[in-house]
Amino acid sequence: MALRVEILENASEYAEAIKTVQQAITLAKSRPIEDGWTKTLDRLTAADKGRKNLPTGTHPMLKRVDPSELALYLEFFVWLGKCCIRFDKTELRYFDASYRGLAAKQIIRREQDVLVVPREYMIVQKRIREETALGKSIAQHDRDFYYPNTVTITSFVMGQIADPTSKWTLMMRTMPRSVENFPVFFRTEELALLEGSLILGITDVQTEPVEDVAELKEQVRNDYDQVCKLDQTFAQHSFEDFVRAHFLVASRIFGITISGEETITMIPYAGKSGRHNEP
C-alpha cells in the first residue's frame, strides 16, 4: 500500500519527504515492511535525482505528516494483509497534513469488489448483542436509549480501545483523535457559513439540525448514563471519550444483510472513506 506520489516543487521538499518515510520505516521496523512503502521511498529517491516524469507513488503533503503516524499505517496495512483484507483498487491519500482519505486507483465498475473483509474482522451489532454481556443488556433495554444501534457498537469499540490485546487494536489506533470537525461541534459563526448547504438538513446520529445540537448532546449523555447503569465498570470510560467514540462510530457504520437479517457493522479500512449507510 503506497501513498500517492506527485511532483514536488523543489529539492528540499524531496529531502523532507524522504526523511519522513525513512523515519516511519525505522519506527515500524519491528513489523514486516510492505513492498509499497519501500517502492515509495525508491520513487522519491529517484525523483529527487531527476525531478521529472515522476510516477504515481507519494503525496507532496507527506513531508508535513508525522513519521509516527506513517509508521502506524505501515503496521496497519501489514495487519490488513495478514487478515486477508483486500483493498487493491483503492489507496490512502493525504490531501493535507491532517486530512486523509481513500481514493480509487482505477475505474471501479458497479459489479466489482472494492473491499473484501472476512466476517471475523467485522464488528457486527447483531453479534455483539448475542455474544457479549453488555451487548445483551443493551438489547434488553433498547427503549432507554436514543441511539441503541450506535451505542451497541460504541460501547464495544471503547472496550477494544482499552484492550491492548484486542485483534482490532491497530484499527482503533488509526481512528482520529478528535471529532471537533463534526458539525455538531461547530461554533455558531462556523455554522452560519454553512447556511444554504445540505449539511444543515442532515438529521441522522452524526449531525442534527442546528437548533437541535444542544438536544443531541443531551441525548448522547443519556445513552452514556444508561450504559453505566447497565455496567458499573463502564464508568472507567469518561463521557468525553464516549462522545468521541459515539461520533466516530456513527460516521463509520454500514448497514448490511447477514443470513437474511439486517444489521449494522464497522469494518476495518472502510471508515477511511467517510460515512456510508450502505456498503
Q: Domain ranges for the chain, please list them.
A: 11-104, 119-273
Question: Going by C-beta distance under 8 Å and a sequence separation of 6 or more, which residues neighbour residue 28?
Answer: 71, 72, 74, 75
Residue 176 has pLDDT above 70, yes or no: yes
> What's the CATH number for 119-273?
3.90.1410.10
Helix then strand count (H, E) for the chain reads: 10, 5
CA–centroid distance for 265 within its chain = 13
Q: Give, in order, the Cα–Cα distances in Å from 163 to each of 41, 55, 246.
A: 34, 41, 18
Tell me, yes or no, if the pTM score tops 0.95: no
Burial of 206 (0-12, 13-18, 19+ CB in 10 A): buried
For 90, the grid coordinates are 483503492
Question: Going by C-beta distance under 8 Å and a sequence separation of 6 or more, which residues neighbour residue 224?
Answer: 239, 242, 243
Mean pLDDT to the nearest integer, 166-174: 91
pLDDT band of 174, cuts 50, 70, 90: confident
The CA distance from 212 to 132, in Å, is 33
For 231, the grid coordinates are 455496567
Confidence at residue 261, expressed as pLDDT on a 0 to 100 scale: 86
Q: At 188, give phi and psi (nearest 5°).
A: -55, -45
- Helical H runs in the chain? 11-27, 35-50, 67-82, 125-131, 133-140, 148-162, 169-173, 188-192, 213-230, 239-250
pLDDT band of 206, cuts 50, 70, 90: very low
pLDDT band of 137, cuts 50, 70, 90: very high
Q: Which residue has the cell 471537533?
A: 180
Q: Is 44 helix (H, G, I), strand (E, B) or coil?
A: helix
Confidence at residue 275, expressed as pLDDT on a 0 to 100 scale: 44
Least confident of 66-70, 153-157, 219-223: 66-70
- Helical H runs in 28-66? 35-50
Confidence at residue 1, expressed as pLDDT on a 0 to 100 scale: 43
Gyration radius of the chain's alpha carbons: 21
pLDDT band of 123, cuts 50, 70, 90: very high
In which element (H, E) is residue 264 found? strand 261-266
Count the helix, strand and coil residues of the chain and give each as a percent rounded to the nearest 5.
Answer: 55, 10, 35
The CA distance from 76 to 33, in Å, is 11
Mean pLDDT to the nearest integer, 78-95: 80
